[in-house]
Structure 1
């Protein structure tokens, strides 16, 4: 067993490092942009590349095409398994092989599709999201080799960046190939390149289209302005009514919760301000820890507003206004429940009796980790052994709807959300990169975790 302790595994990963960097370099060059066509040949080639690399580390991997809910062809997925003992625990390893587009390569300091090493970081689109996840799985399986003591199933998705429209039909078609005791989703990140994290929660998401109407037709602002407020102003008043004086969302029935598993360390305000580009004069809205405000409390954003552009505007009172709300929900609240509460609130708070109608949009459930699960404890121990420091767990303010769907379909599975990213990764943005030292420790972590899960 000495070869499967932290020192033994680290030595194996060091010996395998050039292979892993070569895989990531070739993966970046594939330009696996799902937005350019989920079913296209370049996405099939990407899936075939990943399947071949998984076979190199002992997985009986193959490419399968998913189908959308309407039966049309969907993404090219990679599935496979390695069964070492039917009585041993089974672990499903998840990552995705599609990447985000690069709208303007000029915004990059390097060629986005040529892996470029600068100091401790490797730059390139998909280096972190989620090429790093692929490397973690490949490296961990190679490090364990014939000493692997758990059964492995893999699912490497081809449309995560497009919202996973064929995800559920694909699982339903291949349920036996997903059924497992533990699911490791390597698509998140760490507190920093040097401090590991388990992702403890994800907020849910729901959308609503709201129309505010005060007039049957436009009228002249000089003739009728005063007693009649334009619909844009009424919409602004309605939006403002959702908040209290502190900037907390104050809509009855829209829940809030504290960080899952407790808050070990709050986020640094100066870092948050710098990362988001917040103006010095702006005071952060809301109360409580910054972590809770970003991870587990609800937030609502006006992501679209239909109004007359400034250019070409003229002196009329707008009869109606329409806007779209994106509501991030607390991890444990059903999004449709929050959606109904928000819709009821908006209708009830129509300014000056204006007509308010709400059209509900799509819902995505949030997710909360079980902090008491054995797999959680194993993961935290593995992280500390690999990184040499205690992990700091963190939530995510965004949503990954397929994770709660996995949990719903396989309620007995323990889900762990790990990943290769860190605050400097710039996933989805120009100059995406991955910390090479952090990636190496992530590989060692997963190998150690698989050993522990087998015990």
Structure 2
């Protein structure tokens, strides 16, 4: 048993009364009494470099798995399993049966693997030495997603291992790199069968603003290339008439956006965004936009980031500047990443982009277009009992009404879960915030967000159980 487990407040007495269905006011003090233990265990977990990428040792991933299993057992969970799929780090599974036959079941999701640290010279402290900062802790993976794993474990501690709902746990070990688990849930729906899910791999749009992520953009990749010559030729002797492949490709890429920077590909959906978004100044700071550089596109930021398409050139094969010769380029290739409206089929969107590029004849040259992988977006229905319970819980945790935001990135597993359990409500919230530096240097989590997320999940479980006990419509 770990040292934090000896904390006398670790399994504080819960304050939800199953018989009456009343959510008592003592949850705040229960959560506050748990914070020291949750924070200590979070530091232990964040000290493990559990990077599930090729080229990294698998041992730290297994070490993180073992610690989480031990923490679950200490929180009172006895039915713990493991799912092993080809080429995939272990998926921790666990079940806590519902206290009564009519109690709902909630699935709690998180992942215990992390991104590589990148250039460690850019960190203010070693990435796998959790370091205290003002109001929080800095370490790789501490926000994405180990804080959220500890939020779920902390919620179980808050109820002494006997929550007022049935619980299913999925803690994934290879989310960041991607794995066979993304497509697995529809093949085994019993594993994830539930009434509602809390996907804790997101967080607040800004610290202190409770946020439900209600939409995720879909994605697609594509390669486009131009071949014009058998080999490079002297730019002095042949330039001006010999077709330059790089110029050809650049002319094609320039057609993808209009003069304002909006995507100009016919068939890609864009709609107004009615939820909360960033201010321009917030976004400039978050994205690190160079002073004096205008933002791309027109219209609201929500449309540009979440409910409209985005096209990015993420790679370019061309002669590098430091090895450039005075020659006409015979071959050039670009990789494009497309993000699409949450409700648009990404395959349909990718087909529209392919059509656009194949119709072009820059300088009369045909392009070779190769479609890549796609990932669907997601848009949540927000009018069910779980969303009502979550709104109440987040309001209680942060003292203000929650807002709805979206994620510009994709979480492929969400769609797999939605297919496996189509009737279940999917809630995305957690301990991260937009300033956490996810995937970048000096990633951090704030104690205020950790405490808020822990209280929110705990209050959600109690509130959702109370609603079912009172006969709320499912």
Short-chain TM bin:
over 0.9
Q: Do 2:15 and 2:26's aligned partners in 1 also have CA atoms closer than 8 Å?
A: yes
Counterparts of residues 46-65 of structure 1 (less than 5 Å):
46-65=64-83
TM-aligned CA deviation for residue 275 of structure 1: 2.1
- Which residue matches 1:3? 15
Aligned CA distance change for structure 1 residues 369 and 14 (closer, same or farther; 3 Å) = same
Total equivalences in the alignment: 447
- Which residue matches 1:130? 145
Matched, 1:234 2:248: yes
Matched, 1:344 2:359: no
- Which residue matches 2:167? 152
- Other structure's SS at 1:156 match: strand
Counterparts of residues 3-42 of structure 1 (less than 5 Å):
3-4=15-16, 5=23, 7-35=25-53, 40-42=58-60
1:301, 1:127 → 2: CA distance?
28
2:329, 2:127 → 1: CA distance?
45
- Which residue matches 2:19? none
- Which residue matches 1:202? 216
Q: Do 1:57 and 1:141's aligned partners in 2 also have CA atoms closer than 8 Å?
A: yes
- Other structure's SS at 2:433 match: coil
Matched, 1:89 2:104: yes
- Which residue matches 2:431? 420
Counterparts of residues 12-411 of structure 1 (less than 5 Å):
12-35=30-53, 40-68=58-86, 73-84=87-98, 85-145=100-160, 148-169=163-184, 171=185, 174-259=188-273, 262-263=274-275, 265-411=276-422
Aligned CA distance change for structure 1 residues 186 and 240 (closer, same or farther; 3 Å) = same
1:394, 1:175 → 2: CA distance?
28
- Other structure's SS at 1:145 match: coil
TM-score by length of 2: 0.89
Aligned CA distance change for structure 1 residues 313 and 115 (closer, same or farther; 3 Å) = closer
Q: Do 1:96 and 1:130's aligned partners in 2 also have CA atoms closer than 8 Å?
A: yes
Q: Do 2:203 and 2:432's aligned partners in 1 also have CA atoms closer than 8 Å?
A: yes
TM-score by length of 1: 0.93
Deviates more, 1:210-219 or 1:426-435: 210-219
Q: Do 1:153 and 1:178's aligned partners in 2 also have CA atoms closer than 8 Å?
A: yes
Cα RMSD (Å): 2.0
- Other structure's SS at 1:378 match: helix
TM-aligned CA deviation for residue 210 of structure 1: 0.6
2:307, 2:28 → 1: CA distance?
35
TM-aligned CA deviation for residue 174 of structure 1: 4.6
2:78, 2:206 → 1: CA distance?
34
- Other structure's SS at 2:460 match: helix
Deviates more, 1:402-411 or 1:142-151: 142-151
Unaligned runs of 5+ in 2: 1-12, 17-22, 468-474
1:6, 1:269 → 2: CA distance?
41
Deviates more, 1:1-10 or 1:396-405: 1-10
2:78, 2:344 → 1: CA distance?
39
- Which residue matches 1:432? 443
Q: Do 2:192 and 2:420's aligned partners in 1 also have CA atoms closer than 8 Å?
A: no
- Other structure's SS at 1:301 match: strand
Q: Do 2:118 and 2:440's aligned partners in 1 also have CA atoms closer than 8 Å?
A: no
Deviations 1:289-342 (A, max 9, x none): 112211221111111111112223222222221111011111111111111110
- Other structure's SS at 1:286 match: coil
